[in-house]
Amino acid sequence: MTDEVILLNFWPSMFGVRTMIALKEKGVKYEYREENLFNGKSPLLLEMNPIYKKIPVLIHNGKPVCESIIQVQYIDQVWSDKNQLLSSDPYQRAQAFFWADFIDKKLYVCGRKTWATKGEELEEAKKEFIEILKTLQSELGDKPYFGGDKFGFLDIALVGYYSWLPAYQKYGNFSIEPECSKLMAWGKRCMERESVAKSLPDSEKVVGFVLQLKKLYGIE
Amino acid sequence: MTDEVILLNFWPSMFGVRTMIALKEKGVKYEYREENLFNGKSPLLLEMNPIYKKIPVLIHNGKPVCESIIQVQYIDQVWSDKNQLLSSDPYQRAQAFFWADFIDKKLYVCGRKTWATKGEELEEAKKEFIEILKTLQSELGDKPYFGGDKFGFLDIALVGYYSWLPAYQKYGNFSIEPECSKLMAWGKRCMERESVAKSLPDSEKVVGFVLQLKKLYGIE
């Protein structure tokens, strides 16, 4: 049987990018279906993710897998013959899961505040955002990738945000580079991989998308 | 080398219970160290979980693993010779991770509102709490355990809340049984296992603990 793989996604998502990169790393052919969330949600999305009704959804031979971090693990296990993304060592795995969870708990909410809030809340958010990145940078250390010499799971978990950094900085009016130059160098390094470069949205397009969001929500 | 396994926990935690059950299912001997969070945090806890400074922390041969769901996976992989908790099937695993994540996203926050809020917020919280349980009950279906005939990962992820249900119902003044009788029967079934019965705190003690919390936070 040939695998039928469908990805429901919305192009600016830093989560959907994870799943795209993982599929590309494994050389899995898939059908990409754009869900333009401004135009409502497709019946297929509602059927495949009835709990959250959110992208990305990976549909493998008719069966849905929801939540991007779970999708990456699933892809790594199903197509295990090529480019292992997670270490097989239990402790390394636990560390990767811990930091991926840290990213999911912290980065999205704080990043959003850099363009959706003002005044003191914005100042707090910018400080916190830099602190989060510095914590991640310290976990990276002097390694080329989070897992060591090889691009892997935790790189995939974080790199989707790389396209969003120019938007965060522009609307929040702050600069990440001075305190996070190592992390920015890691981002550039990831972008040299075809799987990443072909998955991440253009950061200028993200800047425009955030402007659309600001207008939609009446944020000046 | 003999494994040195230490668990830092606080007895009412529905999260620490997961790790205790997993260790017991595997027959792993461990040293339990109580962190009484009313009396501050121990230097060991701060050293072993510098990011969140939260229990439970599993320390295996000096190395910390944080976050209970990650601990259960770690334990399942390290002591893989006995009582497999997660399926080896990628799709079954993805489903188990999805529902464990659902529990972590929804149940704690909503459960807390049943004793910490009043008026309309409380009424909303009770409705939502029942809806969450009904969703989980529907996932359980007619199976004895979430994974099928065998007690496993997702049972462990949820069962810690079973001890808390009497407190939620008492202070929220509502009843779970009428709409969730199958889920309650599942809870009783889990309690017949030694690993669960020996890990879960007494629910009357939890009722008293929540009263302590209400006083501490000035909630009448």
Establish if A61 touches chain B: CB-CB under 8 angstroms. no
d(CA B26, CA B194) in angstroms, rounded, equals: 12
Establish if B51 touches chain A: CB-CB under 8 angstroms. yes
In B, minimum Cα distance to A62 occurs at B91
Establish if A109 touches chain B: CB-CB under 8 angstroms. no
In A, minimum Cα distance to B75 occurs at A90
Which residues in chain B are contacts of A60 at CB distance < 8 A? Answer: 91
Q: Which residue positions in chain B have pLDDT lower than 70?
A: 1
pLDDT, position A93: 97
Tens-place pLDDT, residues A69-119: 999 999 999 999 999 999 999 999 999 999 999 999 999 999 999 999 999
Tens-place pLDDT, residues A157-197: 999 999 999 999 999 999 999 999 999 999 999 999 999 99
Residue of A63, A90, A98 with shortest CB distance to B91: A63
Kindly state the DSSP code that residue B145 receives in the 8-state scheme.
B
d(CA B171, CA B211) in angstroms, rounded, equals: 9
pLDDT, position B88: 96
Establish if A154 touches chain B: CB-CB under 8 angstroms. no
DSSP string, A150-204: S--HHHHHHHGGGGGHHHHHHHHT--STTT-HHHHHHHHHHHTSHHHHTTSPPHH
Which residues in chain B are contacts of A70 at CB distance < 8 A? Answer: 94, 97-98, 101
Kindly state the DSSP code that residue A39 receives in the 8-state scheme.
G
pLDDT, position B2: 82
Q: Are A79 and A26 in contact (CB under 8 A)?
A: yes
Residue of B60, B70, B93 with shortest CB distance to A97: B70
Averaged confidence pLDDT in chain B: 97
Both tokens of A67, joined, read 């939540």
Which residues in chain B are contacts of A102 at CB distance < 8 A? Answer: 51
Are the Cβ atoms of A94 and B135 closer than 8 angstroms? no
Tens-place pLDDT, residues A113-151: 999 999 999 999 999 999 999 999 999 999 999 999 999
Query: How high is the ipTM of this complex?
Result: 0.96
Are the Cβ atoms of A67 and B93 closer than 8 angstroms? no
CA distance B96 to chain A (A): 10
d(CA A78, CA A154) in angstroms, rounded, equals: 18
d(CA B174, CA B113) in angstroms, rounded, equals: 13
Tens-place pLDDT, residues A30-60: 999 999 878 889 999 999 999 999 999 999 9
SS3 B27: coil
pLDDT, position A220: 78
What's the one-letter identity of residue A57? Answer: V
In this prediction, residue A1 has a pLDDT band, given cuts at 50, 70 and 90, of low
Are the Cβ atoms of A101 and B70 closer than 8 angstroms? yes
Residue A147 phi/psi, 5-degree rounding, is -85, -5
Which residues in chain B are contacts of A74 at CB distance < 8 A? Answer: 90-91, 93-94
Are the Cβ atoms of B74 and A51 closer than 8 angstroms? no
CB under 8 Å to B180, separation ≥6 — which residues? B130, B133, B134, B137
SS3 A113: helix
CA distance B69 to chain A (A): 10
Establish if A73 touches chain B: CB-CB under 8 angstroms. yes
Which residues in chain A are contacts of B98 at CB distance < 8 A? Answer: 65-67, 70
Residue of A60, A65, A101 with shortest CB distance to B67: A101
Which residues in chain B are contacts of A51 at CB distance < 8 A? Answer: 102, 135
Helices vs strands, H then E, count in chain B = 10, 4
Residue of B63, B73, B94 with shortest CB distance to A74: B94
Both tokens of B77, joined, read 């992989």
Q: Are B30 and B57 in contact (CB under 8 A)?
A: no
Residue of B39, B72, B40, B63 lying closest to B53 (CA atoms): B40
pLDDT, position A79: 98
Interface test with B, best of A28, A77, A80, A131 (most B CBs within 10 A): A77
Both tokens of B97, joined, read 């991770």
- For chain B, domains (ranges, CATH) are 5-79 (3.40.30.10), 90-217 (1.20.1050.10)
Residue of B51, B70, B102 with shortest CB distance to A94: B70
